[in-house]
Structure 1
Amino acid sequence: MATEIPPDLSEVVTPGSSGQISSFCPQSWRSLHQNVVERRKLITMLASRVPGSFQFRTQTTPNDTKTRLYFLGVTCKGRENTLLYVDLPSVVPDMPSVLSQRSMLESFPASIPTSQLSREEQLMRERKRMGTYGITSYELTEWDGRFVFPASNSLFSCVDVDLTSTEPVYPVNIGTSVEGARLDPKVCPTNSKILAFINKGDIWVSNQDNGEEVRLTFTKKGSGNLEEEPLSAGVPSFVVQEEFDRYTGYWWSPAPLPNKDDDVTDHAPFYCMLYEEVDEGEVEILNIFSPSVEGKNVDQYRYPRAGTPNARSFLKLVKFSLDNHGKFDQVQHYHLYEPLLTFFPDLEYIVRAGWTPDAKHVYAELLDRQQKHLSLVLIPVDFFVPVRSFADEEMNVDLVRGSVPSLSVIYEERSDIWVNTHDILHILPHSEPSEIKFLWASEKSGFRHLYCVTSKLESCDKAICAMDLLQETQDGQFKANVIKEEMLTSGDWEVNGKQLWVDEERGVVYFMGLKDSVLETHLYAVSYVKPSEPVRLTTLGYSHTVSFSSDYLSFVSVYSSVSETMSCYVYRILHEDGTIRTKTWGIIMLPIVCPDYSAPELFQYESQSGFIHHGLFFHPHGEQAGQKYPTVLMVYGGPQVQQVTNSFKGIRFLRHHALASNGYAVVVIDGRGSCGRGLKFESHIKDRLGTVEIEDQVEGLQFLSSMGFCVDMDRVGIHGWSYGGYLSLLGIAQRPDVFKVGIAGAPVVNWLLYDTGYTERYLNVPSQNQTGYRNGSVLSHVEKFPDE
């Protein structure tokens, strides 16, 4: 669609000129490249040293109380993430100062190149959208200061014993006998010496005291053949990771379980974990050819295209104990007395799972294929039975009849649009054993808000068998029995669905939300005992990302705006006379002032659709009054993403800054279908992807032109990745009168070839929406593409 210009041509099409080739501010390919390199250096410098993954640890002595704040960051001389910390003042000062950052580690090997990581690690980095290197995550056990973290294709451990010492500690490589990567490492919450990890699709545990390793699950046989080995343990399916943001498939019990085996004299408590076993036997295998030095290799992947079978998931338990010598002992496996599908015939995805705080139940969030019905299910631990009970295939059902506690559905979500999954669930203390009380988030009002819910538990003292349970399900017993539901927040704004923090001692829940501005994420507090208007605890004019201490009396905020780079402050929460306020405890990072940085301009307009639309405008560098400039619309335009916020986006918007620095006007618009604005705004694309989004983008360009912005409507290009790449192709097909060139990165050209979890949420299954799939396919519009 464009004529290639020889690289030795000294002059190219010049932004700001009225003709194709101009002597006005001529640029060679070399100067263009140098400009991009310099812009990359600038943006990287402004964004590369932002700390993250904060954790507080407090140590009390007879004379003092020390609080240390750990985080991942880059040292002044480093290029990769490492473990850093600051020591907070014993008393919150009236005039806070910048705290001294120290490296916690004595020495550490440089991380290996991404190309040398295992395929599992590379795929996980892609699904998590990870762009950092070095130490990318860590676990800290607060009571003993033990750290475990993956790096350089291995696992490391260290202990920060004394908070009065500033001497760095030396990380120890946790040895192993397994081959390949140890993924998703997790420290046992009740014994920091026990570590679990995933290796080649199975769960292992190791004891750091004696170096012993034990394989707990045996789904893989070692052939490496996808067709022969469809099972895995502790690893979610591709769709659950990619489309439901769950990257783990096993969960430690928060408390040891009692040992009820009368044959055991020691009665050592059981350590236990819930895990997901995934069967991908019916999922299609794709053969992907990839070039190599030797020729062509074939990579195989399980990929469920829209309308094809998904992986099947099963919840199981594995228990073990430690003998007197610290060796793993009494490994026992358990599965559900009856499969969940028996009681929930429309079950397609287990989107969330975990334990209640007392370790007496596990919970699971079950979603149907159309993603319109979600059940929050509570499963008693005793509903899991030893695998050996089912060794005899001809066993009569009467032999397993007995006192089996019942499942309970404690909440249900139903929607005519779709149910957006979230991470908001907190089980609260409750004195009535036949009930459960919890915090939950729902979009039933049209916007995601917090609720305090009390539900009735099913009776656990009756003898039942599989057929009894099935009959009771058909009779409607397995429906949510909600006793009380109290709305804690309300209004035409959204609560963030990623995290909340609950101070049970004071009856306060802290959450992130968009109450004050759809462009700014702030921290709020509200009582769930006596609900009232939420209190904002962060500063207006910025977007904030927050991390809390375990006592909920301190938090860290990393915040920025479009015109100001990241700051990082530590705050103390003060409760006085029934009010909540904050006081600055210390400063970790101040914004970088850079005269070479040109911030974009936020704009908004009332759309013909009746909504207020928001956008970003990057002025071309060197802009002259009254002159029009070639314009690039940088588009995403799809669900689950909000591009326009009052925050510094750094490397993510590098292309935008590079184009503007070369004399182009750059525009970003969040149209209908993007997130953060409630279900009505988001669901405008339901059943019709690709048919309405471009009109919102064009309307935004026309608004800017009418308001005197330097947009040249005769020279507009469209560029995007993923959904933005898809819309870039549709843009030049649907509106060639507006878009003269399109650059599509990783576009979806046919929704029949995209995965089930995403596509069916917005388009339904292909058999029930053939028109939507046909109209939304780029292949249906190829005849409209320009031929020059």
Structure 2
Amino acid sequence: MDSVPEMRGSQNGIHPRIPVSYDLYKELKSEASSEMQEGNVSCLKFVPLPSTVGKCRLAFMGRSSNPMAAPDPNLMFIDVDPLLRNVDLTNWSDLIKPLRIDDRKKQRSVQHDLLLERKRQSPTKGVNDFSFTGNRLLIHGGKTSIFYADVGEIPKFVTHEVPALDDEPRMDPKLCPGDVNFMAFYRNGNLWLQNIKKNGEVFQLTIAGQENKDFKGIYAGWVNYLIQEEFDRYSGYYWQETQSRTQRIVYEVSDESELETLTYVNHVAVAQKICRAGGATSGSARSAAATEAVFPSTGSENPKTDIRFVEFELPGSDAEDNLNVRRYKLPMPLMEYLPWTETEKQGYVVRYGWLGEAGIWAHVLTRLQNKSAVVFIPITSFIDEESVISDDFVQTSPVFILHQWTSETWIKETDSVHFFDLKMAENGEEGRLEFIFHFENMAGFEHLFHLTSMVNWNSERIADLPTIICETMIRPITSGNWQVLNTGIDIDFANQLVYFQGTRDSPLETHLYRVNYAKGSAHNESCLRLTKAKFTHFEISVFIKENLFLVKSSNLTTPTSIEAYRLVIFLKEGVCPRPLAYLADDVDAPGPEIFSFKNSDGDEIFGQIYKPENFDSSKKYPTIVYVYGGPRVQNIKNQFSASRSERHRMYSKFGYVVLTFDNRGSDNRGLKFEGVIKNHMGFFEVQDQVEGVKYVSQTMGIIDENRVAIEGWSYGGFMSLMAIAQYPGVFKIAISGAPVVDWRLYDSAYTERYLGLPEENPQAYNDSSVVQQVQNLPDEPNRLLLFHGMIDENVITTNMMVLIEKLTRACKPYDLKLFVQERHSMRSSRTVEYYEMTVLTYLQQFL
């Protein structure tokens, strides 16, 4: 490579700096990108479709392997033959004609834009999501366009656009399970029903929602910011699964009317708006000039959530048919039924859904998330929405608390849940409800449990009691010092098997396992791994009816492959099924090395290292420590990570050692390991990072200890600042992107989980604050490089402004780069390019 200077060490064995130019950056970035190439694995959300060809047809979102095809994702399909093995299915076929949607002129929705940001997604002109109900596909394309296609219209399904109402977007659309000619959606604060074939006729389902120009109010069928961002739920309503013409939808009402509103300004959009008044006709703004959104900060008012449902008969073919909607609510908000304090009741309904015809289940957490309950709400507990509650009102049925528990640290939300049908006794007053739930055991590791609750409607026992605490038997299904993931479970009822993902083999790998839920952890030999060893498996789809499962797999040196397997009932431990088909082939690629060490408290800490290209063990190299370090994230896995690996591989080509550590507080190691950050963030995490650097320096002897930088974004940006403030002799430069500098400036659900309420625990907030450490930041110039997006509604830009003011008053030098059109993440490739060039140039000049 002619343009790269020869990498010779100086006489003292210290590796020299490599000059950075844009051309060299592009060349090495391209080289790293080609080495990190994962091929055609950009497929998401596999769904089985009916097929008459003796094969299992799977639909999914993907990009065509044809280089002449449109670059946006489309709906693709493959046919897996369950009787054959090792079938090459790497050439995917279009299920529908590729969509190229130009909806730039459609009205922009703030809620839609922010939902994409919560999902960490970017809008495309192709397929963004899809679902399958009955024999019909519902396809979401572009920003807010909706299409449907019926199974059987082959070779390519014919798409039909659902008639638009106007420029107002229809969000979270879902087909009715009883009649796929009807679709529910959220719009303007309420839920609506649309006949997608009959001229697009629309009916209003809910009336509780209100909106105003200040973008705060009451929303029916919509998920508030905290549930989206901190609890990973993005839908605010669910159809009851029934084929009846009488349909029900359970939904939440979120009251945000008392929350504070912040305004985010996109100055490019402001300039574009001004210039248009002067005759300009184009611009490059990626969001509105001004966006107003609520921000529930620590200690402030939280959204209030209630659970309701609507019931209605689907309209017939008669043009005069109207929709008779019956709306139901609880006599008082759900959280009021719980025997908790007023502060605890300001908590969260993190999951809920239908429990057959019997009623609704919900998983709720207190505001501090250290107390939790699973509740059952019978249909008969609800009253008409228009009812007035008087003093002599008697509730028909109580709310049943099936299980409640507490934690010294915090309790997580979970999707690894299944409820069996409620079994009633002949007298109609007693019932037994069995369900599988996922939570921490006494040792702090997350596992599956089988619970049996006795539900009693005996009128004498429950007289005047709005809430009944059930007698519940709990039996562990899995156990041990490893984690069952909260990503969901699949149930094989015929064989009493539950399929789940976990870390039983290694904390660095996730696998698909199965266990007999009727036997439980006393028979741990029944817990079998179904995926190949020495790999990490993710985005796993299990199809019980089709007797099939799909996995994406990779390890450090093997990019992602996608494989289909048959579900085999009779297997021995350590014997995995052979793949039926390969949907994407793997190729060999360079990767980092994983190692571990014991910190000063005896905990095993995992680390990862990229060594410089043309590595010479006799030389010492400048080092970049990439850090996130916060809870609910695990960086060190036996997994190929193309996006981050590409950047780190590029750094190594410039002659840097790149280190990453999963310090205490990181995910998937149990609550004891993760919970050390409780009431003190940015201390133990930083300590482990420093000990990791020293370990590599002492055992490998390849680090130039005078040239160590630390780089991080979000929590990693906070960590970078706390690291250089506490250990300025270890880290010469800190690169900090979008950091929280005072946890009073972050959202309530995340921060209070770890630090409590600020008025009750002010010392924890002060100890965990960057602004309290400003005096300890370096006095020398060129040691602090800061980045922030100016329309960041997650870690609001106020954090950076407060830090700059503190730095100015303390006469501390810093370098600042602002991204005018970026939110919390860098979405634009040009922004990423600018960021990387800036970091490399800064390190070349000053490290």
1:584 aligns with 2:572: no
Q: Equivalent residue of 1:185, what SS?
A: strand
1:284 aligns with 2:260: yes
CA contact (8 A) 1:656 1:666 kept: yes
Q: Equivalent residue of 1:774, what SS?
A: helix
TM-score computed with the length of structure 2 as normaliser: 0.82
Relative distance call for 1:651 and 1:701 in structure 2 (3 A) is: same
Q: Hey, what's the Cα distance between the residues in 2 that align with 1:114 and 1:416?
A: 52
User: Shift in Å at residue 577 of structure 1?
Assistant: 8.6
1:69-98: CA deviations, max 9, x gaps? 111111122422111111122x42254444
Of 175-184 and 373-382, deviating more is 175-184
1:440-492: CA deviations, max 9, x gaps? 11203210011111011131656978xx235xx5xxxx33421x211111110
Q: Equivalent residue of 1:505, what SS?
A: coil
Which of 775, 778, 781 aligns to 1:783? It is 775
CA contact (8 A) 1:16 1:628 kept: no
Alignment correspondent of 2:121: 130
Relative distance call for 1:573 and 1:709 in structure 2 (3 A) is: farther
Of 545-554 and 436-445, deviating more is 545-554
CA contact (8 A) 1:633 1:668 kept: yes
1:232 aligns with 2:219: yes
1:180 aligns with 2:156: no
Relative distance call for 1:785 and 1:14 in structure 2 (3 A) is: farther
Q: Give the superposed CA RMSD.
A: 2.9
Q: Hey, what's the Cα distance between the residues in 2 that align with 1:47 and 1:373?
A: 45
CA contact (8 A) 2:401 2:470 kept: yes
Structure 2: which amino acid aligns with 1:454? T
Relative distance call for 1:194 and 1:737 in structure 2 (3 A) is: same
Which of 191, 197, 201 aligns to 1:203? It is 191
CA contact (8 A) 1:280 1:311 kept: yes
1:439 aligns with 2:436: yes
Which of 509, 530, 553 aligns to 1:520? It is 509
Alignment correspondent of 2:309: 317
Q: Hey, what's the Cα distance between the residues in 2 that align with 1:25 and 1:763?
A: 42
Structure 2: which amino acid aligns with 1:406? P
Q: Hey, what's the Cα distance between the residues in 1 that align with 2:778 and 2:105?
A: 39
1:255 aligns with 2:242: yes
CA contact (8 A) 1:377 1:411 kept: yes
Q: Hey, what's the Cα distance between the residues in 2 that align with 1:244 and 1:209?
A: 36
Q: Hey, what's the Cα distance between the residues in 1 that align with 2:376 and 2:659?
A: 48
CA contact (8 A) 2:144 2:171 kept: no
User: Shift in Å at residue 110 of structure 1?
Assistant: 4.7
Structure 1: which amino acid aligns with 2:737? G
Alignment correspondent of 2:541: 547
Of 185-194 and 308-317, deviating more is 185-194
Relative distance call for 1:57 and 1:541 in structure 2 (3 A) is: same
Relative distance call for 1:463 and 1:771 in structure 2 (3 A) is: closer
Structure 2 matches for 1:716-727, cutoff 5 A? 716-727=708-719
Relative distance call for 1:51 and 1:114 in structure 2 (3 A) is: farther
CA contact (8 A) 1:145 1:161 kept: no
Structure 2 matches for 1:353-752, cutoff 5 A? 353-390=351-388, 396-398=390-392, 400-401=393-394, 404-429=396-421, 431-433=423-425, 434-445=431-442, 446-459=444-457, 461=459, 468-469=464-465, 478-482=468-472, 484-531=473-520, 532-533=523-524, 534-545=527-538, 546-551=540-545, 553-576=547-570, 582-593=577-588, 597-708=589-700, 710-752=702-744
1:244 aligns with 2:234: no
Q: Hey, what's the Cα distance between the residues in 2 that align with 1:663 and 1:114?
A: 47
1:508-558: CA deviations, max 9, x gaps? 000000000101100000001223321000001111121011526211011
Alignment correspondent of 2:146: 155
TM-score computed with the length of structure 1 as normaliser: 0.88
1:722-770: CA deviations, max 9, x gaps? 0000011111111010100011010000001111000000001112211
Relative distance call for 1:617 and 1:739 in structure 2 (3 A) is: same
User: Shift in Å at residue 234 of structure 1?
Assistant: 1.1
Q: Equivalent residue of 1:731, what SS?
A: helix
CA contact (8 A) 1:567 1:589 kept: yes
Relative distance call for 1:650 and 1:115 in structure 2 (3 A) is: farther
Q: Hey, what's the Cα distance between the residues in 2 that align with 1:562 and 1:27?
A: 30
Relative distance call for 1:48 and 1:552 in structure 2 (3 A) is: closer
Q: Hey, what's the Cα distance between the residues in 2 that align with 1:502 and 1:386?
A: 36
User: Shift in Å at residue 353 of structure 1?
Assistant: 3.6
CA contact (8 A) 2:337 2:399 kept: no
User: Shift in Å at residue 411 of structure 1?
Assistant: 1.2
CA contact (8 A) 1:351 1:365 kept: yes
Of 148-157 and 520-529, deviating more is 148-157
Structure 2: which amino acid aligns with 1:274? V
Which of 192, 196, 205 aligns to 2:180? It is 192
1:144 aligns with 2:135: yes
Structure 1: which amino acid aligns with 2:529? R
Q: Hey, what's the Cα distance between the residues in 2 that align with 1:286 and 1:771?
A: 27
Q: Hey, what's the Cα distance between the residues in 2 that align with 1:194 and 1:337?
A: 30
User: Shift in Å at residue 15 of structure 1?
Assistant: 8.0
User: Shift in Å at residue 27 of structure 1?
Assistant: 3.0
Q: Hey, what's the Cα distance between the residues in 2 that align with 1:415 and 1:689?
A: 19
User: Shift in Å at residue 692 of structure 1?
Assistant: 1.8
Q: Hey, what's the Cα distance between the residues in 1 that align with 2:177 and 2:11?
A: 68
CA contact (8 A) 1:80 1:132 kept: no
Structure 2: which amino acid aligns with 1:437? E
Unpaired runs of 5+ in structure 1? Answer: 1-10, 258-268
Q: Hey, what's the Cα distance between the residues in 2 that align with 1:510 and 1:675?
A: 21
User: Shift in Å at residue 706 of structure 1?
Assistant: 1.5
User: Shift in Å at residue 439 of structure 1?
Assistant: 0.4
Alignment correspondent of 2:324: 330
User: Shift in Å at residue 250 of structure 1?
Assistant: 0.8
CA contact (8 A) 1:158 1:172 kept: yes
Structure 2: which amino acid aligns with 1:563? T
Structure 2: which amino acid aligns with 1:526? V
Of 546-555 and 723-732, deviating more is 546-555
1:576-610: CA deviations, max 9, x gaps? 499996342211111134xxx53111111122221
Alignment correspondent of 2:805: none
Which of 56, 62, 84 aligns to 1:73? It is 62
User: Shift in Å at residue 690 of structure 1?
Assistant: 1.2
Q: Equivalent residue of 1:495, what SS?
A: coil
Q: Hey, what's the Cα distance between the residues in 2 that align with 1:568 and 1:574?
A: 19
Relative distance call for 1:212 and 1:416 in structure 2 (3 A) is: same
CA contact (8 A) 1:351 1:421 kept: no
User: Shift in Å at residue 204 of structure 1?
Assistant: 1.5
Q: Equivalent residue of 1:138, what SS?
A: strand
Which of 201, 206, 216 aligns to 1:212? It is 201
